[in-house]
Every structure is written in structure tokens, then in C-alpha cells.
Structure 1
Amino acid sequence: MNVSTTARVAAVLLVCSALGTTTAKSAESRPAQVGDATRALLRLQASGERAGTPLPILGDQASASYKRYIDSFTHPIPAYLAPSLRPDAAGGAATTGK
């Protein structure tokens, strides 16, 4: 196994142990299915029960990230997205139409 696969396996085992009785109860009621671990990870992520502490973005990384964001407005909208855009009634600004 490479490092990435090992890390994934470790993460799944950690989540399964963190879920504890929930995983054990569902395993008793039916055999394990493909995607069970992924669904458990997504439920854990969505619940926020085991969220880590927020980490600050350091100045250099924050500046570079903000510059990429600002620079993204200098690129034209790709032609394949043009049909999904419509002029805004307030002044022609493009918005997605649904």
C-alpha cells in the first residue's frame, strides 16, 4: 500500500471507531455494503460533532489566495457556459438563470 491508501484506511478505521455503537448496530441489521464507510464519513462531517479547531490562514497564503480570487474575474466566461447566463434586469450584469 502506498502512503495515500494507508492514510485513507487509517481515516476510515478512525471514523468507524468514533461512530462506535451506530456502526455496530447497522452492521448487525444488514451486511456491510459498498459506500457505508463513505456515508459514515459524510454524516460525521455534516454533523460537526468531531470538528477540529479553526486554523488561521497565514498572511502569505491568504494574500496569494485572495489574488487568485481577484484574478479569476479577468478571465472571460467560457462559451459553453454562455447559454446558462442571462442579463440582469438592473443593468446587464450576468447571473445564472433557472
Structure 2
Amino acid sequence: MSKNPILNALTATAYITLVSSIMYYGTQFAPKNDSFLAPIAMLSLFTLSAAVMGYLFCYQPLLLLFAKKQKAALNLFLQTLAIFAVTTILFLLLLFSGLI
């Protein structure tokens, strides 16, 4: 993605927010009958999300690692992970605080 850990973490948060919003609001338009396609769709979404998150978190650190910049690669990965952890904690605090 980029060498900016804040941008990487916020992009991951935006992706999760988009997917969650589509799932939450999309149920209004989904048919109510059960189908064998539901598990296929969920597993496909899970696989897509794993690939997107892998790209957002690991692409630039791997490029740095291959360029023999191990310390920079580890720092970028850990900073991105830490910022994403902070956004996750903020969402959890909002959820359990009862404000929203």
C-alpha cells in the first residue's frame, strides 16, 4: 500500500467499515429464504477480506524486506498494526459505551 502506517491502518478500517455497512444495510434488500449460496458468499467474502488485509498490512513491509531493509520493514508493519489496534479499541469503546 504505502510507507505511511497511518494511511495503511485507516484504509484497512475504511475497508472494514464499508464491508460492514454493506452487510448491515444490505440485509434490507436480501431475500429472506435460505440458499446454499449464503455460505459460498460468506467464505468468498472472508477470502477476499484476508487478501485485502494482507495487501494493506504486508505489501510494503515485504518490499522493504526484499530490499534488505529488515528494520524498516518490521517498523512499518508494527506501526501499522499498532495504529489499527488503536482504531479497533476505539470502535470497541464506542460499541460498549452505549453512546452509539
TM-score normalized with structure 1 length? 0.28
Specify the structure having the higher radius of gyration (Cα): 1
Query: Of Structure 1 and Structure 2, which has the larger fraction of its residues in strand?
Result: 1
Higher helix share: 2
Please report the TM-score for the alignment, with normalisation by the length of structure 2: 0.28
Q: More relative contact order in 1 or in 2 (CA 8 Å, sep 6+)?
A: 2
